[in-house]
Structure 1
């Protein structure tokens, strides 16, 4: 392929994906799927007065990039823009491979079905774990294409490796899962090495070299990330966060069944209710030692035949609850009707299906089953495997007209899953965001007071969409009783500067601290039990839809 033709195909792939991106953002209203992305955006923009490249769940290198971009101009939502760029690059790489492997318009149409389905999850319900899964699978897809071509392209290989590195930096666990599920395509690639005859070993060597370089780079960025968490403060936080995740993400031990042990640890039922609702930031009563004992108290799920049977009873019907499974089903149907079905293709499809089942059983066993942000990356990998198998040979009897009709039907049918996010259906969201943002701005401009808010109150995900600007230092006087970031060294130092080391204790008789609370009775019970039996809640004011109090002692 000459350079002019290659540029033309790259331009076509990019143009098609830009068209899908602009159409989606024009018709639908993007949002963050989880609070985590809001926190990462905050750490880049400095909304709460902390600018830090330590992102905990993303690689330190991404934090450096965000910090640099926001330093250039904080008027742009760089966190969203950068993530959109990675998604666009990943989808474009897939389109480029398909229009090369499938002659005619079929590759472009199949790509559009994929991009419209997964672009909805990536662009409209933005979430960093999804981005990691999509980029990782696209990286392997592109590298396999580079390795099968007659003429080796260093530029494409480097591009694919860089995309894989970015995927790893977004979420390492999802990177491994999505890359692993590309094994179905890798298996067919190895089967098809026989066509190279005397050059099989050379191709195999290139394969080992290419993926070896990717793994070496991944190891390098991982070591760099780890080297930035070696201080005593970060080691202490990471130990805390490990136990916090086991309790808050996977559930506390049942209180009634373990009441005696809870009471020995000094945790009353009121405290239990506060902690499990993410209001756990009592640095004295809910410290790392207490959390470790609670984690040890949790019974590990036994791996028995009953566990496997229970999973197998659920799994087939649960597939119908996963929106992206239907995109996969479309590609399976295309393969069955028009695709190559020799023994090697069939074995690759069966291997992919077995791997999917194994991964979902692992997630079921670990308690992370049916989590959409994880599922998206897994099904994207499975779809790319099917597309690799489909594009490995000519699509018999599938002409341009059939391809176009299939694409139109699939995109139109997909709107039944997407219509809830159409701008016309979400017209009240901008008003709600402005209203809630006004509350934050009222609190943030009152620099004479520090506000401590219960989890769920003043939620930034309600106030800011992916493309809304987050003003630097607006909320440097507002802190939460929970959240994975609440005990990071950066936020801890900021709270200490405001005279707060333990929010539940330091709120008492402090004229400069206000409490934002939607269940003041429960909070008051807790403070009376542990810190001041005569504590009283004094109502100060209502701002928007939140009530503000001070805690006084008689």
Structure 2
């Protein structure tokens, strides 16, 4: 018993040590970033720097986890809790996979091969995503880890751990978890059939039925709490606006005014208001509400020249086939897109398991059938996102991580089996070599991305320092002038109330923006821009004619005066009403 406890503790220490080395190595070479502005705004909402008080409603996450993180911000006011949370989730995934591998594998050679393969896979595939952190990909990592744990584990504690991971990932990004569920479901099915082959079939059926029931009940409870938390009329109105805005900006094209004048006049929008939709500064106009946004989105969809579905499927299938076998090195962190070495590693895993299964003859029929079904499922998921033309790497790489984790689980389970071990170990060695080849490329691309972000951020850092130094003022930032900035996670953390906001974005017109306006004594954006000590920030190359036209059309004569410039990039403009 004592020896078993020592071994368990040792295994935990080894897995934690390897994970810590990866984390410290990346921290020594790079700064951690929030990959997208979405995560920055979520951090601002949760920390209280947006409204002055940590917000339990952060719009994108489901309420329970949002409330928990906001509570932690109340306890640790000067800490980047959200950044720490995302990093902990990601490195916990690496740790859990490593620990399970070390714990279940007794053969030292097999253990060394498996751990080496995993470490190199992390460095060859994941480096960029560990540096430029995004909550969507974090959820994919958690879903893939859950699939691995399902395949490789047993017992009540394992089932509880899987449920916790799935619930947490659902709370963080429900849409991504739902996309990952078929992969996790395949892992659950594999384990159920494998266990069902053994004795006590009735007991196995009962265990797995309860497991699935508890898992989905937990998801329903999480969603129910979220629905209840956002059930007020004001939040319902905003969520309708949010959904319509997402449909319009992410999936449709805003109809131009001249060709669609009759439609816009029928819903009460003039040309200057439509221009606000085009430049994302729609927060300036109080008349653009959920009803108006829905009408524009529905109209845009009705006049959109849709490519016939058979043609879209054909084009997506061609792209899918190309991405299956394109193994070039990365040229950039996200664009131009490449799926290597993910796709190559997954191919090797499929081949290793398939060869071992074929040579087992009748005993390997289950594995061959499972791989066939898994490939069909993953193909359907890929076709779904490619037909929808929404395939950023945070989604595609997330899908591949989950699939890779599932296949890795099957290989680890059989790495010491007499009929499997030669092919599984050979497959993992090949995976290690491929990953090692891509490590320098991944590091180089990550470094180039860091240099690019540093260069782009320099004028923004000056701008936000300028704004922070003038705390007596308030600044409204043009949306297009704000989008290029990417924030470092753990540099100069300051969760105090920000004296600026953007004129649009996905939090615009939310109860949280109402709270921010109230904190600074503003009634609305339109009137606040005319107030004393309130300024507009816009990039030097961008015109402000749209602003003049908008106010003039509202019967308010204005004059714009440039009071300052920052970093030779941004103009600070005072908007004054003509007397």
Do the structures match in fold with TM over 0.5?
A: yes
Output aligned runs, 1:306-321, within 5 Å. 306-319=311-324, 320=326
Deviation at 1:548, TM superposition (A): 1.3
Gaps of 5+ in 2: 327-335, 358-363
The answer as to 2:399 corresponding to 1:378 is yes
Gaps of 5+ in 1: none
Output aligned runs, 1:183-198, within 5 Å. 183-196=185-198, 198=199
Distance 2:70 2:489 in 1: 17
Q: Secondary structure at the match of 2:496?
A: coil
What TM-score, normalized by structure 1, do the two folds share?
0.88
Distance 1:25 1:553 in 2: 50
Distance 2:340 2:431 in 1: 17
The answer as to 2:532 corresponding to 1:511 is yes
Q: Is the 8 A contact 2:147 2:187 kept in 1?
A: no
How many equivalent pairs are there? Answer: 543
What TM-score, normalized by structure 2, do the two folds share?
0.85
1:415 to 433, 436, 440: 440
Larger deviation, residues 424-433 vs 63-72: 424-433
2:26 to 24, 42, 52: 24
Partner residue in 2 for 1:201: 202
Partner residue in 1 for 2:119: 112
Distance 1:42 1:459 in 2: 15
Output aligned runs, 1:440-479, within 5 Å. 440-458=464-482, 461-462=485-486, 464-475=487-498, 477-479=499-501
Partner residue in 2 for 1:156: 158
Quickly say closer, same or farther: Cα 1:546–1:37, change in 2 above 3 A.
same
Q: Is the 8 A contact 2:140 2:180 kept in 1?
A: yes
Q: Is the 8 A contact 2:264 2:270 kept in 1?
A: yes
Q: Is the 8 A contact 1:57 1:171 kept in 2?
A: yes
Partner residue in 2 for 1:498: 520
Deviation at 1:281, TM superposition (A): 0.8
Quickly say closer, same or farther: Cα 1:359–1:275, change in 2 above 3 A.
same
Deviation at 1:5, TM superposition (A): 2.9
Distance 2:231 2:186 in 1: 39
C-alpha distance after superposition, 1:343-394 (max 9, x if no partner) = 22222222122112211222234342x1222222211111122213323434
CA-based RMSD of the aligned residues comes to: 3.0
The answer as to 2:380 corresponding to 1:358 is yes
Q: Secondary structure at the match of 1:316?
A: helix
Deviation at 1:459, TM superposition (A): 5.5
Q: Is the 8 A contact 2:141 2:398 kept in 1?
A: yes
Quickly say closer, same or farther: Cα 1:267–1:172, change in 2 above 3 A.
same
Distance 2:321 2:382 in 1: 11
Distance 1:547 1:401 in 2: 61
Deviation at 1:337, TM superposition (A): 4.3
C-alpha distance after superposition, 1:142-175 (max 9, x if no partner) = 134333xxxx3x3333222222221111101111
Partner residue in 1 for 2:553: 530
Distance 2:316 2:180 in 1: 21
Quickly say closer, same or farther: Cα 1:34–1:318, change in 2 above 3 A.
same
Q: Is the 8 A contact 1:179 1:381 kept in 2?
A: no
Quickly say closer, same or farther: Cα 1:121–1:324, change in 2 above 3 A.
farther
Distance 1:552 1:294 in 2: 32
Deviation at 1:306, TM superposition (A): 2.7
